[in-house]
């Protein structure tokens, strides 16, 4: 029996949802570059769930379905209010809120295809509301209800800030949502598929996925990137800081990727958005600092930036709290998780790998009174 640490390079499933081949990322055969420049997040959600782009009436319908399902049960808001939110990480709050949604949903254990599609809409719509409500409640503000005439990205920013967003803000969030929507069998997606392969419910699968995304080697990386940039402070400190980190063999967050070798194709889109937003908000040092760090790491270690690296300065420029970066990742990746869960249900087989045993040989049991 051969083993691969971290399952690196192991093919664990067949999927029609997304692919990473020769460092090109596609959703259902459409390149991420094409989608990032041309598609709205709602179009991508439809694409991932239905394996085709929507026509106009289909797009209108999914937009309507999402906005009309955005309001969460009052019990969820009351639950968020019950926390000491100054001490709770928003990913922990989100994980628990999603699990609670499953308790409240009468269809939670109904695994019929139609029921799962209805739950999919509710989950995708309500995850944005939960993240925004958490942010406002911990600031002593009242949650904001969504508006029927706004897109998904517009509504998220509206519920977060309590005012209609600027066009550049909507473009940035919509693009980020598209770029983070799916990424083949990443850690959280694989976790979701393992969970529902037992024929557990969709809420359990999503809760498990959020638990995996919470880790800083996965979704938490963008938060760590901004913490690093904040610690560096000024452009002139960037290279000395990185040199010291490398000398101490410390990990530089947001650089390199397990799958990509020549570079993450998503990064350039958020790099351009970071350049525009930091210039617009007078915070160009964050972009300039990021570019210097990427160029130095690429030269010294051959590692280009991944999608987390520039998403940090994009979200910071939008005035978003740093610990909300990963929950926003979850708002987007919900679409991919759901797509993979639905695909797993369609052609299910329990995911049960083996482990290579490296412990002691067969031993003889020693009675307690004879043990040293």
Burial label for 234, CB within 10 Å (0-12, 13-18, 19+), is exposed
Q: What is the CATH number of the domain that holds 326?
A: 1.10.580.10
- 92-120 pLDDT per residue, tens: 999 999 999 999 999 999 999 999 999 99
The helix or strand, by DSSP H or E, that contains position 318, with its residue range, turns out to be none
Residue (of 322, 297, 307) closest to 224 by Cα position: 322
Tell me the C-alpha distance between 16 and 140, whole Å. 44
Helix 325-346 vs helix 113-137: angle between axes, to the nearest 10 degrees?
A: 170
* Residues 162-191: tens digit of each pLDDT: 999 999 999 999 999 999 999 999 999 999
pLDDT of residue 258: 66
Mean pLDDT of the 301-308 span: 86
Instruction: Judge residue 107's burial from the number of C-beta atoms within 10 Å of its C-beta, 0-12 exposed, 13-18 middle, 19 or more buried.
Output: middle
| Structural domain count of the chain | 2
Q: What pLDDT does 2 receive?
A: 61
Query: Are residues 152 and 239 located together in one domain of the fold?
Result: no
Q: Which of 21-30, 153-162, 185-194, 214-223 has the lowest mean pLDDT?
A: 214-223
Confidence band of 66 (pLDDT split at 50, 70, 90): very high
Interval 14-41 mean pLDDT: 95
Catalytic residue status for 308:
yes
What is the reported pLDDT for 349? 95
DSSP string covering 288-347, please? HHHHHHHHHHHHHH---B-HHHHHHHHHHHTT--GGGHHHHHHHHHHHHHHHHHHHHHHT
Catalytic position from the list 79, 180, 183, 257:
257
Same domain, 286 and 331: no
- Confidence grade of residue 217 (pLDDT, cut at 50, 70, 90): confident
269: annotated active-site residue: no
Res 252 pLDDT > 90? no
Count of beta carbons in the 10 Å neighbourhood of residue 351: 15
- pLDDT reported for residue 69: 98
Cβ atoms of residues 321 and 230 within 8 Å: no
CA separation for the pair 298, 166 (Å, rounded): 34
Euclidean distance between CA atoms 78 and 75, whole angstroms: 5
Q: Are residues 107 and 183 in the same domain?
A: yes
* Same domain membership, residue 112 and residue 71: yes
pLDDT at 164: 95
Is 159 in the same domain as 225? no
Q: Which range (195-199, 219-223, 348-352) has the least confidence?
A: 219-223
| pLDDT number for residue 4 | 73
> How does DSSP classify residue 305?
B
Which of 174, 183, 308, 340 is an active site residue?
308
What does the pLDDT read at residue 124?
Answer: 98
Task: Name the nearest CA neighbour of 47 among 28, 66, 19, 25.
Answer: 28
Q: Identify the domain containing residue 170 by its residue range.
A: 14-215+322-346
Length, in residues, of the chain: 372
Question: pLDDT-based confidence at 1, cuts 50/70/90?
Answer: low
- For residue 356, give both structure tokens: 């290579």
pLDDT band for 279, please (50, 70, 90 cuts): very high
Would you say 333 and 180 are in contact if contact means Cβ atoms under 8 Å apart?
A: yes
Same domain, yes or no: 201 and 326:
yes
Q: Is 372 inside any structural domain?
A: no
Asked if 273 and 310 count as a contact pair (C-beta separation under 8 A), the reply is yes
CA-to-CA separations, 152 to 137, 327, 368, in angstroms, rounded: 21, 15, 64
Percent of the chain scoring above 90 in pLDDT: 81
Question: pTM for the whole thing?
Answer: 0.92
């Amino acid at each position: 029996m051969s083993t691969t640490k971290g399952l690196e390079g192991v093919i664990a499933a067949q999927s029609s949802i997304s692919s990473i081949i020769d460092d090109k990322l596609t959703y259902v055969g459409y390149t991420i570059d094409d989608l990032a420049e041309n598609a709205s997040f709602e179009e991508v959600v439809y694409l991932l769930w239905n394996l085709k782009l929507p026509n106009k009436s289909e797009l209108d319908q999914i937009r309507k379905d999402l906005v009309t399902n955005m309001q969460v049960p009052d019990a969820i808001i009351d639950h968020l209010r019950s926390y000491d939110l100054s001490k709770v990480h928003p990913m922990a709050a989100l994980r628990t809120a999603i699990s609670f949604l499953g308790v409240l949903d009468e269809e939670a254990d109904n695994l019929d295809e139609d029921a799962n599609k209805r739950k999919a809409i509710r989950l995708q719509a309500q995850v944005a509301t939960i993240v925004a409500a958490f942010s406002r409640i911990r600031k002593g503000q009242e949650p904001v209800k969504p508006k029927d005439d706004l897109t998904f990205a517009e509504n998220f920013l509206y519920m977060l800030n309590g005012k209609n967003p600027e066009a550049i803000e909507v473009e940035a969030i919509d693009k980020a949502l598209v770029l983070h929507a799916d990424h083949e069998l990443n850690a959280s997606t694989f976790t979701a598929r393992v969970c529902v392969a037992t024929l557990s419910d969709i809420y359990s699968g999503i809760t498990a996925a959020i638990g995996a995304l919470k880790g800083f080697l996965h979704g938490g990386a963008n938060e760590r990137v901004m913490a690093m940039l904040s610690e560096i402070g000024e452009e002139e400190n960037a290279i000395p800081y990185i040199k010291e980190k490398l000398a101490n063999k410390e990990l530089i967050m947001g650089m390199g990727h397990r799958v990509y070798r020549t570079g993450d194709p998503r990064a350039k889109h958020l790099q351009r958005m970071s350049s525009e937003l930091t210039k617009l908000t007078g915070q160009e040092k964050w972009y300039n600092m990021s570019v210097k760090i990427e160029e130095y790491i690429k030269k010294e270690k051959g590692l280009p930036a991944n999608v987390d690296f520039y998403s940090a300065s994009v979200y910071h420029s939008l005035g978003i709290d740093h610990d909300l970066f990963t929950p926003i990742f979850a708002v987007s990746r919900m679409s991919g998780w759901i797509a993979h869960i639905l695909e797993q249900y369609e052609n299910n087989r329990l995911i049960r790998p083996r482990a290579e045993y490296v412990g002691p040989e067969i031993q003889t049991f020693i009675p307690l009174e004879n043990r040293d």
